[in-house]
């Protein structure tokens, strides 16, 4: 019997719904009482920041496609209009769950722990006097009250700014009702800590404080009603790169326009007067479904301030110290170490200091004659940028800065200009393609007289801050084939120079998709020939239709496939005759899973690849990405036994995706029984391993695989 066709819409899950389900898994961490209380508050704030970006980018793009008249359905068969209906329903349910978490779980639990979020009427005299003084000194001088009338048009409200709307009535002249608006500057903290008795932490929301002081700014008016609100705008950049004479200036101009993009969402207090809501809706040109009436603060992402301001170590995760790279040679020379063997680091369990040190050493070493690096997101006060700037005084330094890294564009423009001022050759990548690969290449005249290349290849950004809570992998190597290929990638980035191949690297958009599918097909060929066929792949998202279909064909051929996909996943596992042998799990926990690892059994000659690319269309076809092999046998063993086996054994933070598109915690049901009394947390295990408190023998066997589903979806079910 020939295998079933893999080209049916019902075999694919919707991308946007899958993203919302990922955010729901983050929300589950906020609800989970096993997590420290203030960490739960932080998880809630993350869900709100995530949702902001969803509206700014994903939903804004969907609305743009509808407005432009696009009707072509996605891989799941849903045209844009139907997709929007589905997203609206799911988004409303998610927002309800967010505020239920805040109002019913977190806020009461905080109060029980002596952390109170108070109304102004609940303050004692000391706290009230403090706030009055603070408002007069710090707040009132920054606020500009506006009354809307023919001489005073509605102010241009920037993206995600905290605002207050008022209904105003003149005390003497007439009964007409005016609208007033105050925009609160971003420089003011949204949550204020006020004096409290010893052992407690009391906070108030800035919006409440501004509302209480509005009467002083609207003298001569009676404030009939007031409400805090917030507008989210389309934040996509619409660049015509081919027509741009200067990409940096084009991005800078578009960043200014972003602040004024079309409104896509209005958040407003649930108790807001209908007249305020309607006036705002009309002003911003929104449909009713785009209005979210919040039974709590209009910006839940700001509750992270409570985490930051509250010094309660008993309510946070226990901190850990990353393992530093230990150099074995007498000279403690990083280059000597790399010449002897490749080095693999697993961040944040292994310190990112080694990556920074590699750059700083190269910058100071007189034997290093050339440095090249890509920068995507590097953060403020970057020691790496500082080192590159200093190196430019004595050697050739080339940096490819991606100006279009979403929401880091302004920062990257500043870095690009700073590096240019220091004498660095700065390039902005290729027209139409983002530069997302993570590469460093140093050329050095070694003491033995040989000129060698040394490379760092990574899965994550060169950002010393995010490296503390993103899991990523770093490879240092002097392997001639690898470093020569890295040099060819830099030539591609700076000169668009064609090269017949980049072996042993997989490079997007040149051949990464084609070779990825070929690796999957090779496993299928092995399985058909009764040789060991197995795939384990870890990534942030799985959306590319061609790759998914290749995985389906491999499953049909008998390949056992385990996918560890943190976020969006369009593949539908467990479908009879299509994906029986595919299992998908998502791990959401203390650290953000960001590493990409691809393992292929290859009939016993197992191959491992790491890289910057997820299996998504944008990574495979619209960006410059690099996926690189792990060649050292000991490093292969580490990737397999320490990293992948840990994640496959997780029963504490892993969720299993079923054929209907829903996720269930692995620990909720093990071997068909109730939750196991002792759960294995891969991230905490890896932290313990880095601290010397664990051994690889502690990794339990992977949780029992779910029985093969006989689920066969029908179009009408979706």
Report the C-alpha gap between 50 and 88 in whole angstroms: 16
Helix (H), strand (E) at residue 47: helix 37-53
User: Beta strands of 274-378 (E only): which ranges?
Assistant: 291-294, 343-347, 368-375
Tokens 């000169």 correspond to 495
SS (H, E, C) 493-554: HHHCCCCCCCCCCEEECCCHHHHHHHHHHHHHHHHHCCCCCEEEEEECCECCHHHHHHHHHH
Helix (H, G, I), strand (E, B) or coil at 32: coil
Counting beta carbons within 10 angstroms of the beta carbon of residue 309, is it exposed (0 to 12), middle (13 to 18) or buried (19 or more)? middle
Report the C-alpha gap between 162 and 210 in whole angstroms: 11
445 CB-near residues (< 8 Å, 6+ apart): 367, 369, 451
- In this structure, are residues 397 and 388 in contact, taking their beta carbons and an 8 Å threshold? yes
Identify the CA nearest to 566 among candidates 596, 536, 534.
Answer: 596
Report the C-alpha gap between 59 and 265 in whole angstroms: 10
Report the C-alpha gap between 306 and 608 in whole angstroms: 42
Report the C-alpha gap between 666 and 655 in whole angstroms: 5
How far is C-alpha 106 from the geometric centre of its chain's CA atoms? 24
- Count the residues in the chain: 718
Report the C-alpha gap between 143 and 210 in whole angstroms: 9
545 CB-near residues (< 8 Å, 6+ apart): 12, 75, 570, 617
Counting beta carbons within 10 angstroms of the beta carbon of residue 173, is it exposed (0 to 12), middle (13 to 18) or buried (19 or more)? exposed
307 CB-near residues (< 8 Å, 6+ apart): 38, 39, 41, 42, 45, 316
Helix (H, G, I), strand (E, B) or coil at 371: strand
Identify the CA nearest to 325 among candidates 364, 361, 348, 352.
Answer: 352
Angle formed at CA 452 by CA 451 and CA 455, multiple of 5 degrees: 150
Catalytic residue among 201, 346, 428, 436: 436
Token pair of 523, please? 């496993």
Report the C-alpha gap between 277 and 696 in whole angstroms: 58
Query: Is position 436 annotated as part of the catalytic site?
Result: yes
Helix (H, G, I), strand (E, B) or coil at 452: strand
Cα-Cα-Cα-Cα torsion 517, 523, 524, 527, nearest 10 degrees, comes to: 180
Report the C-alpha gap between 680 and 647 in whole angstroms: 9
Residues annotated as catalytic are: 436
């Amino acid at each position: 019997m020939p295998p079933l066709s893999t080209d049916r819409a019902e075999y694919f899950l919707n991308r946007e719904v899958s993203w919302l389900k990922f955010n729901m898994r983050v929300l589950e961490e906020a609800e989970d009482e096993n997590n420290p209380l203030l960490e739960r508050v932080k998880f809630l704030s993350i869900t709100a920041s995530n949702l902001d970006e969803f509206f700014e980018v994903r939903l804004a793009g969907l609305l743009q496609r509808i407005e432009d008249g696009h009707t072509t359905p996605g891989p799941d068969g849903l045209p844009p209009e139907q997709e929007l209906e589905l997203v609206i329903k799911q988004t409303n349910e998610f927002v309800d769950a967010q505020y239920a978490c805040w109002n019913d779980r977190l806020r009461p639990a905080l109060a029980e722990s002596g952390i109170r979020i108070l109304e102004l009427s609940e303050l004692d005299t000391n706290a009230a006097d403090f706030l009055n003084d603070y408002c007069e000194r710090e707040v009132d001088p920054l606020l500009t009250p506006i009354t809307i009338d023919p001489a005073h048009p509605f102010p241009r409200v920037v993206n995600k700014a905290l605002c207050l709307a008022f209904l105003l009535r003149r005390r003497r002249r007439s009964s007409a009702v005016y609208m007033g608006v105050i925009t609160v500057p971003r420089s003011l903290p949204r949550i204020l800590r006020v004096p409290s008795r010893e052992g407690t932490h009391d906070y108030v929301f800035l919006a409440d404080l501004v509302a209480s002081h509005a009467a002083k700014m609207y003298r001569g008016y009676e404030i009939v009603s007031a409400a805090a609100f917030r507008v989210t705008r389309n934040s996509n950049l619409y660049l015509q790169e081919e027509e741009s004479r200067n990409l940096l200036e084009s991005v800078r101009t578009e960043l200014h326009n972003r602040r004024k993009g079309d409104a896509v969402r209005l958040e407003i207090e649930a108790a807001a007067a209908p007249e305020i809501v309607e006036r705002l809706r009309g002003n911003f040109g929104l449909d009713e479904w785009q209005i979210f009436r919040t039974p709590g603060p209009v910006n839940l992402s700001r509750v992270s301030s409570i985490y930051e301001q509250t010094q309660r170590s008993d309510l946070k995760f226990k901190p850990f110290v990353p393992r530093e790279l230990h150099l074995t040679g007498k000279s403690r020379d990083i280059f000597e170490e790399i010449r002897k063997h490749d080095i693999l680091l697993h961040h944040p369990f292994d310190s990112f200091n080694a990556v920074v040190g590699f750059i700083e050493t190269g910058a100071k070493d007189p034997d290093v004659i050339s440095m090249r690096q890509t920068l995507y997101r590097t953060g403020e006060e970057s020691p790496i940028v500082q080192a590159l700037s200093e190196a430019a005084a004595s050697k050739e330094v080339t940096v490819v800065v991606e100006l279009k890294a979403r929401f880091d564009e302004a920062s990257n423009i500043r870095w690009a200009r700073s590096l240019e001022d220091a004498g660095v050759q700065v390039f902005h990548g290729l027209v139409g393609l983002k530069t997302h690969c993570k590469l460093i290449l140093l050329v050095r005249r070694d003491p033995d007289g040989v000129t060698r290349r040394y490379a760092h290849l990574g899965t994550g950004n060169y950002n010393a801050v995010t490296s503390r809570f993103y899991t990523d992998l770093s490879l240092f190597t002097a392997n001639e084939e690898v470093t020569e290929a890295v040099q060819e990638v830099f030539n591609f980035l700076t000169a668009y120079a064609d090269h017949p191949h980049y072996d042993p690297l997989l490079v997007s958009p040149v051949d990464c998709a084609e070779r990825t599918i070929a690796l999957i097909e090779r496993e299928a060929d092995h399985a058909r020939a009764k040789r060991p066929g197995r795939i384990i792949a870890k990534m942030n998202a799985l959306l590319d239709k061609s790759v998914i279909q290749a995985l389906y064909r491999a499953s049909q051929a008998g390949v056992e496939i385990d996918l560890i996909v943190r976020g969006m996943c369009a593949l539908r596992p467990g479908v009879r005759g299509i994906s029986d042998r595919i299992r998908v799990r998502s791990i959401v926990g203390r650290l953000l899973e960001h590493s990409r690892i691809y393992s292929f059994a290859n009939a016993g000659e197992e191959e491992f690849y790491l890289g910057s690319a997820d299996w998504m269309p944008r990574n495979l076809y619209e960006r410059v990405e690099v996926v690189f092999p792990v060649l050292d046998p000991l490093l292969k063993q580490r990737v397999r036994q320490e990293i992948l086996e840990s994640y496959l054994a997780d029963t504490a933070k892993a969720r299993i995706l079923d054929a209907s598109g829903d996720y269930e915690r692995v620990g909720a049901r093990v071997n068909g029984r109730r939750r196991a009394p002792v759960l294995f947390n891969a991230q905490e295990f890896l932290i313990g391993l880095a601290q010397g408190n664990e051994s690889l023998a502690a990794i339990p066997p992977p949780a029992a695989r779910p029985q093969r589903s006989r689920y066969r979806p029908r179009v009408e079910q979706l």
